[in-house]
Amino acid sequence: MKLLRAALLGTALTFSGMAMMAPAASAQVDRPVSFVDLAERLSPAVVNISTSQNIEANVERPEFPDGSPLERFNDFFGNGEGRIASSLGSGFVVSADGTILTNNHVIEDADVIEVTFPDGETFTAKLIGRDPKTDVAVLKIEAGRDLPFVEMSDSDDVKVGEWVMAIGNPFGYAGTVTVGIVSARNRNIGNNAFDDFIQSDVAINKGNSGGPLFNMDGKVVGMNTAIISPTGGSIGLSFTTPSNIVSQVAGQLEDFGETRRGFLGASVQPVTKDIAESYKLDEAKGALIKRVAKDGPADKAGLQVGDIILSYNGEALDKSSDIFLKVADTKIDSAVKVRYVRKGKKAATASVTITRLEEEKPSIPDGEVQSGKVVAMGVAAEALTPALRRKYRIPGSVNGVLITRIKSSSGASGKLRVGDVVSQVEYKDVKDVEDFKTKVETASEAGLPIMILVNRGGYPVIYSIRGSS
């Protein structure tokens, strides 16, 4: 492997006039002198997660009879049981008795999950539960002794600009430490309604998935989950699931083996300045109801399309997406107060009894095959069959259409890749190949670049692509 080294040449310019204007004593800068102590203290609790999966063989292998001169080749060709697919990620121990958190996409569909500590000690882990929507999974190992573990923090306290540190196993390089700052809060990258990521410029790469992001107190502020990158490597756009979400989901998985989310029965959208003005609101905050499920909790409580929800269970909604997480975290069958305003009327309060959300199955059942191939936007796309999922190692939680060919002269060339899964077009889910073609054709009519969300190797990436071929 060829290593490239770069030297940075800098020129220092001093201006006597500016020096005279400088204050006599500079303000103290709050920054760590070193990360050594934190790295040494926290690294023992960060583990390598490796998985293997038995994949059904789809080819005939020769088998030579005992005593044959070619018998020795039986081991070479294998026993016909299929090959083993392996994946690699990170995780972190959160209790002395061996509870470990990681990403769902790291362990999904695995037959065997192994956890390796920095000293090389390896354990086979049991899957306690997983949640594709928030990409959280809980594992358990039996070590026969107390294990080093890390503590979760309150991610609501995370501030933009503060120092954070990641420890993980990028590309299999165990115990890698990287640092940076929090770049933004409450990021939605188009995964689903539960997106509420912490964005940082910490170097996160493939293999860091499921690993912890720490604050300077050595507590976990979140789980490293996704990056956006045109190259597949870190470019300083890393996304971390906040610790409050991870803890809430992990708690349900430990207690029930599954998530039990609340259901409001209403779809919402952001409140714009124009909408706020139309409702005579001082600020563009809250959630505007755009659909109400018949006989759902919101409908039974009297909420209607056009109502703006201002607060939920006594907590104000700064933005519409806040309500998804608050409802999801509400105890099933409990009554909550929802304060809302209806156009032309004064604000009112409704009592809503939250029911349980019926979760959709994230994977396509074996044998359920969508047929068809299409060409749109200069790329050929096919339905995600079980065979293609095995070939390209695409988890069952990833839905959309698979790119199998790209025209070199198309706007997608140099951006999209064969093996990418197109999940959304213009931020709308792609159901099947015909839906993909229809959405691309509709978006192309505007003559503007089309926003395409693809899943590449377990990571979502957004591209802006011209629709012409």
Residue 396 exposure: Cα atoms within 13 Å on the Cβ side? 19
**Mean pLDDT lowest for which of 64-68, 305-309, 345-349?**
64-68
Q: Which tops the pLDDT comparison, 23 or 149? A: 149
Lowest mean pLDDT among 76-80, 358-362, 440-444: 76-80
Helix (H, G, I), strand (E, B), or coil: what is residue 427? coil
Tell which residue, 437, 459, 460, has the closest CA to residue 450: 437
How far apart CA 454 and CA 421 sit, in angstroms, is: 5
- 439: Cβ contacts below 8 Å, ≥ 6 apart: 425, 426, 428, 430
Let me know: does 281 contact 317? Beta carbons within 8 Å. Answer: no
SS3 content of the chain, % helix, strand, coil (to 5): 20, 30, 50
Q: What is the CA radius of gyration of the chain?
A: 26
Give the model's pLDDT for residue 86.
Answer: 67
Q: Which of 131, 135, 195, 196 is catalytic?
A: 135
The answer, yes or no, to whether residue 464 has pLDDT greater than 60, is: yes
Is residue 105 part of the annotated active site? The answer reads yes
Catalytic residue, from 155, 209, 243, 311: name it: 209
Which backbone phi and psi does 269 adopt, to 5 degrees? -140, 165
pLDDT of 376-413, one tens digit each?
Answer: 888 889 998 888 888 888 888 889 999 988 876 677 87
Task: Tell me what pLDDT residue 286 has.
Answer: 93
pLDDT band at residue 373, thresholds of 50, 70 and 90?
confident
More confident residue, 307 or 365: 307
What is the amino acid identity at position 449?
A: P
CA distance 48 to 173: 9
| DSSP string computed for 113-132 | EEEE-TTS-EEEPEEEEEET
Q: What is the pLDDT of residues 184-199, one digit of tens each?
A: 998 877 666 677 899 9
pLDDT value, residue 408: 67
Tokens 């196993």 belong to 169
Lowest pLDDT segment from 9-13, 76-80, 204-208, 235-239 = 9-13
d(CA 101, CA 240): 13
Question: Which two three-digit tokens encode residue 180?
Answer: 């940076």
pLDDT at 266: 92
30 band by pLDDT with thresholds 50, 70 and 90? low
Which residues touch 396 (CB under 8 Å, ≥6 apart)? 108, 109, 362, 363, 364, 389
Per-residue model confidence as pLDDT tens digits over 143-161: 999 999 999 999 999 999 9
Question: Mean pLDDT over all residues of the chain?
Answer: 82
Instruction: Give the tens place of pLDDT for each residue, 215-267.
Output: 999 999 999 998 887 777 888 899 999 999 999 999 999 988 888 889 999 98
Close Cβ partners of 293 (under 8 Å, ≥ 6 residues apart): 265, 266, 299
Ordered by where they begin, the domains of the chain are 33-259 (2.40.10.120), 263-356 (2.30.42.10), 373-465 (2.30.42.10)
Exactly one of 90, 105, 238, 307 is catalytic; which is it?
A: 105
* 49-63, 98-112, 371-385: range with highest mean pLDDT: 98-112
409 is catalytic: no
**pLDDT-based confidence at 281, cuts 50/70/90?**
very high
Cβ-based neighbours of 469, under 8 Å, separated by 6 or more: 375, 377, 378, 407, 409, 410
Q: Is residue 135 annotated as part of the catalytic site, yes or no?
A: yes
Strand ordering across the sheet containing 122-124: 122-124, 112-116, 46-54, 84-93, 99-102, 136-140, 126-131
Band the pLDDT of 76: cuts 50, 70, 90: very low
Mean pLDDT throughout 136-146?
Answer: 94
